[in-house]
């Protein structure tokens, strides 16, 4: 990219700098708390704009609007009318791709090549896919005998659950938020979203799209704020909320489940992970290196499904470590709009402190630092950003926090194993159970090992590949419930059985 083209792209990114606002009952507002925080980009720590912190009044107004909309035009629409509008939402996101892209890249710092192909198109697809899903749903019917011989028919009616609280994280802001808003609205619910405080922009922008697409007011609401003792907690405690869907850290999930107990609200939790990759000596090494590279370093390691533990069969251990090191060192840190950039910064300097604390711990525990381990030198204009080096360690004990706790940065620990049983035991050795990937050319081994992984998703010779109609969620402490395709309907609808005596 020429310097001039880069400057032009940067200017278009800069035009996305703006204040965020709540979106309540179809209108943008700063609310009444008078509290704001500065939204800073992790690229260089400069201010993008101000974000209002919602309080109890904003949450109450949003929940009331959502409740009223359930019984307004939205509730009266046929499924075809409703899903046509959602398909329009998807089209409008794509029509405004550059706006969403600039907002997402400013908020997160991620390379625009990634957001252009993943975050924004998947954000749009979440509306289209669930609109298609609900159009083709049927329910069960049973004919039963009765003592008088006339019989009875039982049939299921799927109804919207009501007002859904959506609480979302910062790593894939639009994608993960719409992964919940899409099915919730397709099923006829209304939503109040509390986006991550780190990434308020695309949820706000989606409000404009909702109005443009003709989504009735009150159906989609956004209240910005923090978690505990702020908009997040107030939302989960609001009596008009009928269900809570959450993506974020496992410890936050615990707090939200406690909050959901109030009034017996159903929760769906997609939580943290400490995902293993198992690389057998019979793997296609080129494919394994390419896949493990992506799973460790994509989105600067800030992917719940990412790999932070790599187990490699002993005969290929040294070769694997050398090639992953070369791969990590070939990553190019830089501004999102530069097409040669392959690695952005972490989401914030606070998060960098957390990740760096693990880098320090690894060194203190005597890890071999294969590459990285610190903060890179960046050009002066980016020096105040949340940049960090991609890092690989070997040589730590299995009890190390580095091997057991979710770090959520561009790093992994690689350890050798000798046989399949050992590999399976190591893979299952943490309290998390979100994802695993298995690299082998032996078909029987692939199926055998996959079946023993205590996880929600197990990849064989791939990573981050999934048909959106399949179930998604975590085992053990990585989540509760499954979303995706028809599985989402279990959470976003209430099933009523109607029994008709003939
Ligand atoms: P986080 O748990 O810190 O925050 C997530 C959201 O919860 C934010 O909007 C936050 O404001 C809100 N929140 C915090 N405390 C709350 C409370 N007491 N009540 C209500 N809301 C509250 O997570 P994060 O740091 O934004 O995201 C990273 C985490 O998310 C990682 O652990 C990652 O593994 C996980 N994650 C999981 C998946 C998945 O599908 N399993 C996907 C992406 C991210």
pLDDT for residue 9: 67
Instruction: Check if 39 has its Cβ closer than 6 Å to any atom of ligand 1.
Output: no
**Number of Cβ atoms within 10 Å of the Cβ of 249:** 16
Element (H, E) at 22: strand 22-24
Give me the residues of the chain with pLDDT under 70, please.
Answer: 1-9
Instruction: Check if 130 has its Cβ closer than 6 Å to any atom of ligand 1.
Output: no
Query: How many residues comprise the chain?
Result: 502
Q: Considering only CA atoms, which residue is closest to atom 37 of ligand 1? A: 271
DSSP per position, 392-439? EEE---TTSHHHHS---SSEEEEEEE-SHHHHHHHHT-SSEESEEEEE
Q: What is the CATH architecture of 275-466?
A: 3-Layer(aba) Sandwich (3.40)
pLDDT for residue 207: 98
Task: Report CA torsion sign: 462, 283, 454, 368.
Answer: negative
Residue 72 alpha carbon to ligand 1 centre in Å:
32
Residue 195 · residue 232 · CB < 8 Å: no
Q: Is 104 a catalytic residue?
A: no
pLDDT for residue 5: 65
Common-topology check for domains 3-271+478-501 and 275-466: no
DSSP per position, 275-286? EEEEE-TTS-HH
pLDDT for residue 404: 98
Instruction: Check if 273 has its Cβ closer than 6 Å to any atom of ligand 1.
Output: yes
Residue 252 alpha carbon to ligand 1 centre in Å:
6
| Sheet with 411-417, edge to edge strand ranges | 368-371, 391-394, 411-417, 307-313, 275-279, 435-439, 457-460
**Which structure tokens are listed for 215?**
């989504």
How far is 140 from 147, CA to CA, in rounded Å? 23
pLDDT for residue 313: 99
pLDDT for residue 1: 56
Measured at the CA of 174, the angle between CA 173 and CA 176, to 5 degrees, comes to 70
pLDDT for residue 246: 98
Residue 244 · residue 234 · CB < 8 Å: no
Q: Which atom of ligand 1 is nearest to the CA of 235?
A: 20
pLDDT for residue 12: 73
Residue 477 · residue 468 · CB < 8 Å: no
pLDDT for residue 6: 66
Every domain of the chain and the residues it spans:
3-271+478-501, 275-466
pLDDT for residue 14: 80
How far is 250 from 404, CA to CA, in rounded Å? 14
Residue 251 alpha carbon to ligand 1 centre in Å:
9
For ligand 1, pick from 248, 250, 470 the residue to mutate: most ligand atoms within 8 Å of CB.
248
Catalytic residue selected from 270, 308, 337, 389: 270
| Helix boundaries (H) for 142-230 | 173-186, 201-213
Instruction: Check if 169 has its Cβ closer than 6 Å to any atom of ligand 1.
Output: yes
For 182, what's the count of Cα atoms within 13 Å in the CB-facing half-sphere? 30
Residue 501 alpha carbon to ligand 1 centre in Å:
48
Q: Does domain 3-271+478-501 fall into CATH 3.30.70.2190? A: no
Residue with tokens 């919940």: 180
pLDDT for residue 3: 61
How far is 364 from 460, CA to CA, in rounded Å? 35
Residue 296 alpha carbon to ligand 1 centre in Å:
20
Burial code of 85-109, b = ≥16 C-beta within 10 A, e = fewer?
bbbbbbebbeebebbbbbbbbbbbb
* Phi and psi, residue 277, nearest 5°: -120, 130
How far is 318 from 280, CA to CA, in rounded Å? 13
Residue 344 · residue 110 · CB < 8 Å: yes
How far is 379 from 381, CA to CA, in rounded Å? 6
Instruction: Check if 223 has its Cβ closer than 6 Å to any atom of ligand 1.
Output: no
Residue 126 · residue 89 · CB < 8 Å: no
Bridge pairing between strands 190-194 and 141-144? unpaired
How far is 35 from 242, CA to CA, in rounded Å? 28
Instruction: Check if 304 has its Cβ closer than 6 Å to any atom of ligand 1.
Output: yes
Instruction: Check if 134 has its Cβ closer than 6 Å to any atom of ligand 1.
Output: no
**Number of Cβ atoms within 10 Å of the Cβ of 395:** 15
């Amino acid at each position: 990219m020429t310097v001039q083209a880069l400057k032009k792209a940067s200017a278009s990114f800069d035009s996305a700098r703006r204040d965020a606002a709540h979106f309540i009952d179809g209108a943008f507002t700063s609310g009444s708390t008078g509290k704001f925080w500065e939204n800073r980009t992790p690229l260089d720590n400069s201010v993008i704009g101000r974000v209002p912190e919602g309080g109890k009044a904003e949450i109450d107004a949003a929940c009331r609007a959502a409740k009223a909309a359930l019984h307004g035009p939205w509730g009266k629409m046929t499924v075809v009318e409703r899903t046509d509008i959602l398909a329009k939402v998807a089209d409008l996101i794509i029509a405004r791709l550059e706006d969403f892209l600039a907002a997402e890249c400013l908020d997160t710092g991620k390379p625009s090549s990634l957001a252009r192909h993943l975050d924004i198109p998947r954000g749009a697809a979440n509306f289209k896919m669930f609109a298609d899903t609900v159009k083709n749903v049927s329910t069960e019917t049973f004919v039963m005998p009765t003592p008088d011989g006339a019989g009875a028919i039982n049939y299921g009616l799927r109804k919207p659950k009501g007002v859904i609280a959506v609480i979302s994280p910062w790593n894939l802001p639009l994608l993960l938020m719409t992964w919940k808003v899409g099915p919730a609205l397709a099923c006829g619910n209304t939503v109040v979203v509390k986006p991550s405080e780190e990434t308020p922009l695309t949820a706000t922008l989606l409000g404009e799209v909702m109005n443009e697409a003709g989504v009735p007011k009150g159906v989609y609401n956004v209240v910005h704020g923090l978690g505990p003792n702020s908009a997040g907690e107030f939302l989960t405690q609001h009596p008009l909320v009928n269900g809570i869907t959450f993506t974020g850290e496992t410890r936050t999930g615990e707090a939200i489940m406690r909050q959901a107990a109030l009034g017996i609200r159903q929760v769906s939790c997609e939580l943290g992970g400490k995902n293993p990759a198992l690389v057998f000596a019979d793997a296609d090494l080129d494919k394994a290196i390419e896949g493990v590279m992506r799973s460790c370093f994509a989105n600067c390691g800030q992917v719940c499904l990412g790999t932070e533990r790599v187990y490699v069969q002993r005969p290929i251990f040294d070769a694997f470590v050398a090639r992953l090191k070369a791969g990590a060192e070939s990553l190019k840190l830089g501004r999102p709009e530069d097409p040669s950039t392959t690695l952005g910064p972490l989401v914030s300097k606070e998060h960098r402190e957390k990740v760096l604390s693990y880098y320090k711990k690894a060194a203190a525990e005597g890890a071999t630092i294969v590459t990285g381990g610190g903060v890179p030198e960046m050009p002066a204009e980016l020096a105040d950003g949340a940049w960090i080096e991609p890092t690989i360690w070997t040589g730590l004990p299995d009890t190390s926090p580095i091997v057991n706790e979710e770090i959520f940065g561009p790093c992994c620990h690689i350890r050798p194993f000798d046989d399949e049983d050992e590999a399976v035991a190591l893979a299952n050795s943490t309290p998390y159970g979100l994802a695993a990937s298995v690299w082998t050319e032996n078909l029987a081994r692939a199926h055998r090992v996959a079946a023993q992984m205590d996880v929600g998703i197990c990849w064989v010779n791939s990573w981050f590949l999934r048909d959106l109609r399949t179930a998604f969620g975590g085992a053990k402490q990585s989540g509760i419930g499954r979303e995706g395709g028809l599985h989402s309907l279990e959470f976003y609808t209430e099933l009523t059985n109607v029994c008709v005596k003939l």
